[in-house]
Homo-oligomer: A and B are copies of this chain.
């Protein structure tokens, strides 16, 4: 089909199904770029980085295929931006939780809650987290993302614990969370609150 066909009176043959009937002319959608990044995360969560293509993201974001190469250098840049957004959202949430408690006791409870409940609730975040880790594992230049995330967690924990303890608790959250997700029913149940308290007691140090 030569391009002259469209220059005639054909109203608009859109490939993507338009959800609303609004005509939505051009240049009136300034957060298109943002929507694409969000849609990219959805696609990654569903199909994995392996199955993430320009076309799938375009459909998910309800934008034309051409927007993909227009707004982004390529899949790599898009993935980097998407993971950047994801990791920032995750560490923001963690910081908020830690900022919401005041006493050390409450902080310990919060850590316990994170370990016990966090991963069970949301499979999407489990998947995205590991997609991000894998992405960073393969390309050292993107480890800034994971480094920032981990640094932010430690910083948040340091509001309540000394640096060494914060580092240890952070690692414990990581390890216990992963093992809980991938091996939900180990033979030996762990008394998470007690463990967290005892880890925090290893470095018998004061905290703000």
Binding site for B on A (CB under 8 A): 48-50, 123, 126-127, 129-131, 133-134, 136-138, 143, 146-147, 150-151, 154, 163-164, 166-168, 170-176, 178-179, 181-183, 186-188, 190-191, 195, 198-199, 202
Contacts and interface: CB of A to CB of B under 8 A. Distances in A.
- Tallying the copies of this chain within the complex gives 2
Given A147-B182, A171-B172, A190-B167, A133 B134 contact: yes
Give the most central of A50, A133, A134: most B CB within 10 Å: A134
A42 B81 CA distance: 28
A182 B48 contact: no
A128 to B, nearest CB: 9
A161 to B, nearest CB: 11
Contacts of A198: 202
A134 B136 contact: no
Contacts of A50: 48-50
Give the most central of A143, A147, A183, A195: most B CB within 10 Å: A183
B131 A182 contact: no
A178 B174 contact: yes
A172 B131 CA distance: 21
A64 B183 CA distance: 38
A129 B133 CA distance: 10
Contact of A167 (B150, B154, B188): B188
Contact of A137 (B127, B136, B168): B127
Contact of A134 (B48, B164, B173): B48
30 contacts: A48-B49, A48-B134, A48-B138, A50-B50, A127-B134, A130-B133, A130-B134, A131-B134, A131-B137, A133-B133, A133-B178, A133-B182, A137-B182, A146-B183, A150-B179, A150-B186, A151-B186, A163-B188, A164-B188, A166-B188, A167-B188, A168-B190, A170-B175, A172-B172, A173-B175, A174-B178, A175-B175, A175-B176, A195-B202, A199-B202
